[in-house]
């Protein structure tokens, strides 16, 4: 169970790096249809990298472990991670797979997105490689993972943290049937509504349905601290059998929603490591995510804005 204690302001993130190839469109293509983009760009992404960048912008020391291919994108990956995460990047390389790539479509009218990922080298990190960073994990306040690496490596990192009483955060994206093997090692889980529906096997079309899905999942998984990100509707916290609704932020200038969830996750982890309680951290993370969607690209993470709760 998550308990606020003396914090060292340190986070360890095991996660993905992807090269994001982003196309901005008037509308998404139909099957078999070729359409012209209004603009395109190549930027760094991956849930792990995005969350590490967001956390590093919010007043914590970040240790970020990832894996890339020995290919044309390798230099780009190292350069971009060095520019964005100015603390400790641990970048492993492999010849067995290419650097991860995400093809992202962003629709102009409502800024919604569609994403197709080839995780490549992200799936090649090994338990032995994770074990090498055991001491850094044990010295952290928080370990954060997602599901864009292979499950053996993720489980290894979670167990190292769990055994050392380091608070473990899981962003269950992309959702996978294998997730059940990780849940006993997770203190806080942070799904969006779609992911919660997959976890709880219940509809989430209303706030009441979302609460019922949270209760069902908490009972089946044993996880007692759950934060559901709800996009423009804010967030919902569940802790100690109590729900707390985090309201939406009004008058947000939405340009691109691609990295909103990663901004929330990274900021939440940072503020928990700063010693805030769950509600305070979620309120801050919700505000921070509203700033992130005002710029283009999943890796658009603004500098932290202080304690606005």
- The domain locations on the chain are 10-28+40-292
Which residues have C-beta within 8 Å of that of residue 218, sequence separation ≥ 6? Answer: 224, 226, 238
Q: How far apart are CA 95 and CA 158, in angstroms?
A: 26
Which of the following is catalytic: 71, 141, 187, 262? Answer: 262
> In angstroms, rounded to a whole number, what is the distance separating the alpha carbons of residues 224 and 129?
30
Q: Is 61 annotated as a binding residue?
A: no
CA distance 7 to 11: 10
Q: Is the pTM higher than 0.75?
A: yes
Concerning whether 262 is annotated as a catalytic residue, the answer is yes
- In order along its 309 residues, the chain shows pLDDT tens digits of 555 455 689 999 999 999 989 899 999 999 999 999 999 989 888 999 999 999 998 989 999 999 999 999 999 999 988 877 766 899 999 999 999 998 989 898 887 888 888 999 999 999 999 999 999 999 999 999 999 999 999 999 999 999 999 999 999 999 998 999 999 999 999 999 999 999 988 999 999 999 999 999 999 999 999 999 998 899 999 999 999 999 877 656 655 455 688 999 999 999 999 999 999 999 999 988 888 655 554 445 555 555 444
| Structural contact between residues 185 and 211, judged by C-beta atoms closer than 8 angstroms | no
Please give the CATH topology (third level) of the domain spanning 10-28+40-292. Answer: 3.40.1190
Burial class, 277, CB count within 10 angstroms (exposed 0-12 / middle 13-18 / buried 19+): middle
Is 269 known as a binding-site position? no
pLDDT at 112: 83
CA terminus-to-terminus distance, the chain: 24
Q: Is 229 annotated as a binding residue?
A: yes
Give dist(CA 16, CA 122) in Å, integer. Answer: 6
Consult the annotation and say whether 219 binds a ligand. no
């Amino acid at each position: 169970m998550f308990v606020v204690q003396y914090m060292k302001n340190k986070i360890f993130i095991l996660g993905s790096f992807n090269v994001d190839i982003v196309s901005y469109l008037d509308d998404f293509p139909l099957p078999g249809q070729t359409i012209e983009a209004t603009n395109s760009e190549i930027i760094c992404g991956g849930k792990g990298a995005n969350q590490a960048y967001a956390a590093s912008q919010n007043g914590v020391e970040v240790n970020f472990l990832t894996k890339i291919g020995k290919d044309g994108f390798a230099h780009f990956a190292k350069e971009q991670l060095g520019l964005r995460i100015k603390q400790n990047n641990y970048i492993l390389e492999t010849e067995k797979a290419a650097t991860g790539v995400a093809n992202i479509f962003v629709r102009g009218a409502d800024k919604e997105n569609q994403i197709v990922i080839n995780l490549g080298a992200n799936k090649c990190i090994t338990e032995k490689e994770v074990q090498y960073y055991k001491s850094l994990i044990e010295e952290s306040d928080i370990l954060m993972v997602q599901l864009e690496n292979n499950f053996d490596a993720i489980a290894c990192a979670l167990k190292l943290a769990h055994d050392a009483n380091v608070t473990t955060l899981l962003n269950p994206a992309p959702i996978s049937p294998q997730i059940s093997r990780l849940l006993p090692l997770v203190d806080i889980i942070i799904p969006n509504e779609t992911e919660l529906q997959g976890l709880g096997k219940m509809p989430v079309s209303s706030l009441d349905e979302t609460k019922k899905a949270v209760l069902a999942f908490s009972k089946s998984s044993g996880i007692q601290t759950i934060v559901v990100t709800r996009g423009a509707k804010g967030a919902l916290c569940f802790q100690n059998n109590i729900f707390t609704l985090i309201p939406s932020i009004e008058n947000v200038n939405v340009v691109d929603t691609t990295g909103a969830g990663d901004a929330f996750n990274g900021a939440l982890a940072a503020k928990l490591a700063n010693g805030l309680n769950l509600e305070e951290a979620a309120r801050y993370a919700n505000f921070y995510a509203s700033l992130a969607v005002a710029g283009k690209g999943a890796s658009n993470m603004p500098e932290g804005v202080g304690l606005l709760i």
